Amino acid sequence: MANTDRTAISHVFRGTFIHATQKTAVQILEDALVGVDTEGKVAFIGKGDKLDTLSRTFGFSPREVTQLTQHEFFMPGMIDSHIHASQYSYAGTALDLPLLQWLSTYTFPVESRFKDLEFAKKVYTQVVKRTLRNGTTTACYFATIHTDASLLLGQIANEFGQRALVGKVCMDRNNSVKHYRETTQESQEETCRFIVELLNKKYPLVKPVVTPRFAPSCTGALLGQLGSIAKNNHLHIQSHVSENIEEVNLVKELFPESESYTDVYHKYNLLTDKTVLAHGCHLTDKELDLLRETGASLSHCPSSNFSLCSGVLNVRNVLNRKVKLGLGTDVAGGYSASMLDAVRRTLDASKVLTIQDPDHDTLTFEEVFRLATLGGSQALSLDDQTGNFVVGKDFDALRVNVAAPGAPIDLIQSEEPKILLEKFLNLGDDRNIVEVFVAGRRVVPFAEPVE
């Protein structure tokens, strides 16, 4: 495979590459040679024994090839399809209340602090650095209602080289926290200002996303305005849906004219092929069908679903109904900012369903690997650019060393690449992720600051 109208090659790697395709959940390319061009795109994928031919065709020297060691492999960067950057400040705490009480007791008071740009800068820098180090090459972020702090999150993601969708949160009702409110008009105007200012920055990897927090936080008037803004500007949309039963009942009360929770978003033109909705634990099959018909996707956030006792999403059913699905950490409802945790909790959630019903078709680790990578890129409609190793896509990749010194994997019983992947997914952590690339740029380890 090769792209013939090419630009110059900037890196060539030789070793094991592991990724997912539509057909194969885990495809292993042993002794592969992968070239990345100066625009950060995969220029060729070949076999190691074709080094001479490829080096002549693409004009690089075989001496420039980076050889992976025996316990190393490359995999696509992981895609966190739902994370609240602003909630990183209290991640790992406050997990003792159900959703609606959790929001008013912990979340809204903390989010109100992002009016302070110094505080925002501190938290947003930490969350971008932590997620990059954990191997999240693309993150779909909720910020807060504050436009300037949300713009700062975009700036920080750009500086550290993370691919990001960033949303200024919109909410014009049902919030008891006095200093964390906006009117319908403010929410609509500030969303427009956020979009215009973020697009004007021309950050290559950062895009704005229209972000109604969830139906209970928004009037129909606001939802309608946000639907029009997204449609007129072909923008991404993110929100939450059907996470907990109390919330589903509240939506029925607030929107009695709608057939279902999902139908509320549909009515206001918020279901498009660039929409991602988090959770969906209690969706009916009819609602799943509406998601499929509109091209909208789900973000599965099992850590949060367990922590807030929200529900257990049946991912198998979602996949059988052909709804696009990615994984999300949902920090801070989920306590971990690592997609490896999302992978493990996804497997746990599937096994809980099998415990309840032995006929349940449990997800395999291979399928969950696909959801964390290609699935996430499809859910965010970024799969023309990222999600797996294909000539012409951006090189978003993790160099994993299963035997990295200090990392928590002591014994490796087999060199088989699939076993190395399984070990990493179940036992590994950021110490096993020795390098992270986004669009061909090495973003981890972090560049030393220029003095």
40 binds, among Fe ion, ligand GUN, none (CB under 5 to 8 A by kind): none
302 binds, among Fe ion, ligand GUN, none (CB under 5 to 8 A by kind): none
Q: Which is nearer to Fe ion, 97 or 199 (CB)?
A: 97
Query: What residues contact residue 410 under an 8 Å CB cut-off, 6+ apart?
Result: none
Give residues 199-238 in contact with Fe ion (rule: CB under 5 A).
none
State in angstroms the smallest separation of the CB of 294 from Fe ion.
21
Binding of residue 243 to Fe ion (CB under 5 A): no
Give contact residues for ligand GUN (rule: CB under 6 A): 84, 99, 103, 107, 213-214, 240, 243, 304, 330, 333
Q: Which is nearer to ligand GUN, 330 or 341 (CB)?
A: 330
Q: Which is nearer to ligand GUN, 213 or 345 (CB)?
A: 213
For every residue of the chain, which 3-state class applies, written as one string? Answer: CECCCCCCEEEEEEEEEEECCCCCCCEEEEEEEEEEECCCEEEEEEEHHHHHHHHHHHCCCHHHEEECCCCEEEEECEEEEEEEHHHHHHCCCCCCCCHHHHHHHHHHHHHHHHHCHHHHHHHHHHHHHHHHHCCEEEEEEECCCCHHHHHHHHHHHHHHCCEEEEECEECCCCCCCCCCCCCHHHHHHHHHHHHHHHHHHCCCCEEEEEEECCHHHCCHHHHHHHHHHHHHHCCEEEEEECCCHHHHHHHHHHCCCCCCHHHHHHHCCCCCCCEEEEECCCCCHHHHHHHHHHCCEEEECHHHHHHCCCCCCCHHHHHHCCCCEEECCCECCECCCCHHHHHHHHHHHHHHHHHHCCCCCCCCHHHHHHHHHHHHHHHCCCCCCCCCCCCCCECCEEEEECCCCCCCCCCCCCCCHHHHHHHHHHHCCHHHEEEEEECCEEEECCCCCCC
* Other C-beta atoms lying within 10 Å of the C-beta of residue 341: 19
State in angstroms the smallest separation of the CB of 435 from ligand GUN.
32
400 binds, among Fe ion, ligand GUN, none (CB under 5 to 8 A by kind): none
State in angstroms the smallest separation of the CB of 311 from ligand GUN.
11
Which residue number is nearest to ligand GUN in terms of Cβ? 333
213 binds, among Fe ion, ligand GUN, none (CB under 5 to 8 A by kind): ligand GUN
State in angstroms the smallest separation of the CB of 169 from ligand GUN.
8
C-alpha–C-alpha distance, residues 160 and 153, integer Å:
11
107 binds, among Fe ion, ligand GUN, none (CB under 5 to 8 A by kind): ligand GUN
243 binds, among ligand GUN, Fe ion, none (CB under 5 to 8 A by kind): ligand GUN
Q: Which of 37, 72, 172, 330 binds Fe ion (CB under 5 A)?
A: 330
State in angstroms the smallest separation of the CB of 123 from ligand GUN.
15
214 binds, among ligand GUN, Fe ion, none (CB under 5 to 8 A by kind): ligand GUN
Q: Which is nearer to ligand GUN, 28 or 250 (CB)?
A: 250
219 binds, among ligand GUN, Fe ion, none (CB under 5 to 8 A by kind): none
Give residues 250-289 in contact with Fe ion (rule: CB under 5 A).
278
Q: Which is nearer to Fe ion, 35 or 208 (CB)?
A: 208
Stretch that binds Fe ion, among 37-45, 52-60, 329-337, 346-354 (CB under 5 A): 329-337
Q: Which is nearer to ligand GUN, 73 or 261 (CB)?
A: 261
Q: Which is nearer to ligand GUN, 43 or 103 (CB)?
A: 103
260 binds, among ligand GUN, Fe ion, none (CB under 5 to 8 A by kind): none
Q: Which is nearer to Fe ion, 161 or 311 (CB)?
A: 311
Q: Using CB under 5 A as the criterion, which residues of the chain lie in contact with Fe ion when the complex forms?
A: 278, 330
